[in-house]
């Protein structure tokens, strides 16, 4: 398995650690090099297309990443896992569905399939698992994905909307959130950056409430939370570790310590001890909004990189 330093060397200056988001875990988390691509939000190249964001060089940059991953796949073969963390398509704002997005970005869609990507579903492309719900067709999308080390599940990969009360697609609030996004999407025809402005405002409100435990001051007296979804994901990992889920895994097979997500478009890598374990949350940020971030895990070493 390639180490993170091997990977940086192979990328020849294209990969750099974002901020100081690199951690050495207390145990092995993967047995293969895991590369996670967060939110891409592909659209039909219209004025509201956040992937392109009015910068043709962004497409070239992403194609550069895919070319690199294709070469890496050829070299590493099955020692590599590439996981797209959802919101690959932005079906909330698409004129049609995936159909004309494929026409707009044939090389991106073709290459990302070519590198044998594992797809996790996000809230903006959740329609992919809903269109043919009765027939069980999901177009290869999974709710979540896991990676193993030393015979046990150590990491869980999901989009992250599950922890976001305004975007959880199984709730009424999530449905309202979707409609709000649609309206904001239409406003982008007038002011293309309105989504970024409103999104940042909303995120800062949620983060402030969450960080300072406005809702749960008694339960969380420490008064500070490094990531607004940290509690949700520690609870989820603990639930798995207790064997308290409907998944097929027994407690002997599970020793989860890392959750990898996207969704917030704000990259962070945090760790926190709880009940004798150390838990990690890797928020891979986003490819869109100028993020160009990816998450990478090799054994116990993990980092968020920016592809430049």
Partner 1 sequence: MKRITILFIIVMVLSSCTTFQEPTTLGRVKSSLNCTTYKEGTSWSEVSKVMGPPDIAPIPETGTDLTNNTRIYKDRIIIFYTEMKEVVEWGKVRFKEVVTSMEFCKRK
Q: Please give the residue ranges that form the binding site for partner 1 (CB under 8 A).
A: 95-100, 102-103, 106, 109-110, 113, 128, 131-132, 135, 137, 139-140
CB 161 within 8 A of CB 129: no
Complex with partner 1: residue 63 or 109, whichever CB lies closer: 109
CB of 101 to partner 1, least distance (A): 9
Complex with partner 1: residue 115 or 184, whichever CB lies closer: 115
CB of 172 to partner 1, least distance (A): 25
Closest CA to 281 of 272, 294, 296, 270: 270
CB of 107 to partner 1, least distance (A): 12
C-alpha–C-alpha distance, residues 224 and 135, integer Å: 45
Distances (CA, A) of 281 to 19, 133, 227: 16, 31, 8
Q: Any idea which residue has 């691509």 for tokens?
A: 37
CB of 137 to partner 1, least distance (A): 4
C-alpha–C-alpha distance, residues 306 and 284, integer Å: 10
DSSP annotation of 70: H
Complex with partner 1: residue 6 or 137, whichever CB lies closer: 137
Complex with partner 1: residue 130 or 274, whichever CB lies closer: 130
Burial of 92 (0-12, 13-18, 19+ CB in 10 A): buried
Q: Quick count: other Cβ atoms within 10 Å of Cβ 22?
A: 15
CB of 122 to partner 1, least distance (A): 15
Complex with partner 1: residue 26 or 137, whichever CB lies closer: 137
């Amino acid at each position: 398995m390639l180490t993170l330093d091997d990977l940086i060397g192979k990328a020849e200056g294209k990969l750099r650690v974002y901020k100081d988001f690199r951690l050495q875990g207390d145990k092995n988390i993967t047995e293969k090099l895991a590369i996670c691509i967060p939110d891409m939000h592909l659209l039909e190249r219209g004025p509201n297309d956040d992937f392109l964001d009015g910068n043709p060089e962004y497409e070239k940059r992403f194609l550069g990443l895919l070319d690199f991953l294709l070469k890496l796949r050829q070299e590493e073969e099955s020692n590599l896992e590439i996981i797209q963390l959802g919101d690959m398509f932005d079906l909330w704002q698409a004129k049609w569905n995936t159909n004309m997005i494929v026409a707009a970005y044939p090389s991106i869609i073709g290459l990302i399939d070519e590198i044998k990507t594992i797809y996790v579903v996000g809230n903006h492309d959740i329609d992919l698992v809903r269109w043919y719900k009765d027939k069980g067709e999901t177009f290869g999308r999974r709710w979540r994905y896991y990676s193993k080390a030393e015979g046990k599940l150590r990491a869980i990969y999901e989009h992250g909307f599950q922890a976001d009360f305004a975007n959880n697609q199984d709730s009424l609030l999530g449905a309202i959130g979707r409609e709000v996004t649609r309206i904001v999407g239409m406003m982008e025809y007038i002011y293309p950056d309105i989504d970024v402005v409103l999104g940042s405002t909303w995120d800062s409100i949620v983060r402030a409430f969450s960080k300072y435990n406005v809702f749960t001051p008694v339960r969380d007296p420490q008064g500070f939370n490094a990531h607004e979804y940290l509690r949700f994901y520690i609870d989820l990992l603990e639930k798995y570790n207790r064997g308290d889920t409907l998944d097929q895994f027994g407690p002997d097979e599970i020793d989860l310590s890392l959750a990898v997500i996207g969704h917030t478009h704000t990259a962070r890598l945090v760790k926190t001890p709880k009940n004798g374990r150390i838990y990690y949350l890797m928020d891979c940020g986003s490819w869109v909004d100028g993020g160009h971030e990816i998450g990478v895990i090799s054994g116990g070493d993990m980092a968020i990189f920016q592809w430049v």
